[in-house]
Amino acid sequence: ASIYDLIQSACEKNDSKLIASFEMHKKAFTFGEMHLEAGKIAAGLVNLGIAPGDRVAVWGPNQPEWLVMKWACARAGFEMVNINPLYTSRELEYALEKVDAKMLVCPKTIGPLNYHAKVQELIPNLAEQDRFSLKVPSVPTLKKIVYYSCPEAEAGTFQWSELEQAGSDKDLKTVNEIIVDPHSIANIQFTSGTTGMPKAASLSHFNLINNAISLTASLNALLPSVHENSSFLNCLPLYHVFSFVGGSLIGAHNAVPNIYPAPGFNSAAAIKACADKKCTYLIGTPTMFTDIVNDPIRLDHDISSLDFAIVGGAPATPALVRKANTELGLQMAVGYGMTENSCATFLTYPGSSEDVTCNSVGFPIPGVEAKVIDENEKTLERGQIGELVTKGFVLFMGYVKDEEKTKESYTKDGYWKTGDLAVVREDGTLQISGRSKDMLIRGGENIQPTEIENFITTHEKVLDCYVIGVPSSRLGEEVAAYIQLKDDSVTKEDIIAFCKDGLARYKLPKYIKFTEEFPKTVTGKIQKYLLRDQAMEDFP
Ligand code: ATP
Ligand code: MG
């Protein structure tokens, strides 16, 4: 059994239903077409010497070939490695070496992104090499490169069209005879790199399928969100679990199409795709929702088909949840999870009180157990803050080539340590207080940056705000707030005066800086470790 069974069983019911549409590429697939294409590509990979258990790295933004590769690998038991589309050459090298990749598949160029140039940095003599057996000193396992979005042959590489045609009937027969172990790796997924260097997490077919099934159960039990005419607007990068599991896999499981607006996120493309395809369900990070809500072109398009959304991947402020609900006319649920837990582990649901949706991530999805513990791994009572730990089918298989780190990430009783601070509220829902690494301690008082961020973003002139601790010789740390304003009609003094009305004295920012942009990952997550570096210069 593999995640590919979802495609196969959907095909048995009705293979002419749509599975995916890439709006910018004007390329859509029915389940039947995807099955055919994945078969061709899997056979082509067999022909080029890829066998079950081999690692194929795919590096790029949302394009049809990305998704086809995913299903082709799943079908034949090849381990697909998802590489962040924005990686530099140096990061690519780190990732490929880390996982012992045998093949790299990527666009040659797409828009302003020139993957070929980055590959050439890694392999300067690519053009002179035997494309059947590359020699890459820093990544000795890497033997072949396939380019898509590459109309003309590029020396040293294979073209996508060649891969499509390479597989013989015999190769396809080989693919069809492969039996995939559900506990084998489907996916090596790099974490977002929000807190530092990304970690390579191994996820099995079993992990992924369980997450998709549990999430569907949670959604269906609470709202008939997935129905005959549903379609999902998937704005997230496919390389991330939230997009593939929370969108594509749930879609495949329910025979509902995913609409991918554009290779990278832009709110205008998302809004247009939503109006064109009458999407009913929207998934994205808080940054994406902020952009969609604030984009004026929204008013020129009918997106009233939307009835449901999941925001997740980073904290959503209550102000954002309220705004999305009223202005987009939908019911927003909040999802919480992480790469190492195969996607989501907690979910609120539409129809919950505003208090629950704005201040919690709801309850664990079926099959997930969770508790909040203290430093001695003692379970805490409701209302007490500690580290969230989780257990269940969705727990990953470990970090690649890093047994030590894998072991350290578990409690003595086998729960996985999320690194996030949380509180179980009186009503049993879970509130995430932030990452334990981001908590700041000022003069002995613990301060949660999210509390200050949530308050400052209620100011009508504030678009976005992030709070960090800045070293202080007297108090240990001081509060610093980076704020993006809607216009420049407010001063730092106004912000402080506003904060005095809602925050205890010791939580007031000592430093404020107005800024136009923040260091963020490709999914729009704030990289506070970079903001802290910046603060050393801004507030010496
Ligand atoms: P890295 O581990 O490389 O630093 P990362 O933790 O951001 O990156 P992901 O696995 O993509 O990588 O993200 C999981 C983290 O995102 C969680 O541990 C949590 O801190 C945060 N997160 C996800 N959903 C939510 C949410 N709804 N509310 C608050 N935080 C969230
Ligand atoms: Mg993490």
Q: Report how far residue 186's alpha carbon sits from residue 207's, in angstroms, rounded to the nearest whole number.
A: 9
Distances (CA, A) of 148 to 1, 109, 145, 229: 29, 8, 10, 32
Return the ligand number nearest the Cα of 196: 1
Q: Is 339 in the pocket of ligand 1 (CB under 6 A)?
A: yes
Can you tell me which atom of ligand 1 is nearest the CA of 521? 7
Does the pTM surpass 0.90? The reply is: yes
Q: Report how far residue 176's alpha carbon sits from residue 431's, in angstroms, rounded to the nearest whole number.
A: 46
Predicted interface score ipTM higher than 0.85:
yes
476: buried, middle or exposed (CB in 10 Å: 19+, 13-18, 0-12)?
A: middle
Q: Smallest Cα–Cα separation from 292: which of 336, 315, 261?
A: 261
Distances (CA, A) of 375 to 59, 255, 341: 39, 44, 22
Residue nearest to atom 1 of ligand 1 (CA): 193
Q: Is 531 in the pocket of ligand 1 (CB under 6 A)?
A: no
Terminal Cα-to-Cα distance of the chain (whole angstroms): 57
Q: Is 287 in the pocket of ligand 1 (CB under 6 A)?
A: no
Q: Which helix (H) or strand (E) holds 58?
A: strand 55-59
404: buried, middle or exposed (CB in 10 Å: 19+, 13-18, 0-12)?
A: exposed
Q: Is 418 in the pocket of ligand 1 (CB under 6 A)?
A: yes
**pLDDT tens, the chain, 540 aa long:** 899 999 999 999 999 999 999 999 999 999 999 999 999 999 999 999 999 999 999 999 999 999 999 999 999 999 999 999 989 999 999 999 999 999 999 999 999 999 999 999 999 999 999 999 999 999 999 999 999 999 999 999 999 999 999 999 999 999 999 999 999 999 999 998 888 888 999 999 999 999 999 998 887 765 555 667 789 999 999 999 999 999 999 999 988 999 999 999 999 999 999 999 999 999 999 999 999 999 999 999 999 999 889 999 988 999 999 999 999 998 899 999 999 999 999 999 777 899 999 999 999 999 999 999 999 999 999 999 999 999 999 999 999 999 999 999 999 999 999 999 999 999 999 999 989 989 999 988 889 999 999 999 999 999 999 999 999 989 999 999 999 999 999 999 999 999 999 999 999 999 999 999 999 988 888 999 999 999 999 998
Cβ(236)–Cβ(209) under 8 Å?
A: no
**Which residues make beta-bridge pairs with 80?**
56, 187
Q: In terms of residues, how long is the chain?
A: 540
Distance 450 CA to ligand 2 centre (A): 17
Q: Report how far residue 189's alpha carbon sits from residue 387's, in angstroms, rounded to the nearest whole number.
A: 23
Q: Is 390 in the pocket of ligand 1 (CB under 6 A)?
A: no
Alpha helices in 185-279 (DSSP H): 205-222, 241-243, 250-254, 267-277
Cβ(40)–Cβ(166) under 8 Å?
A: no
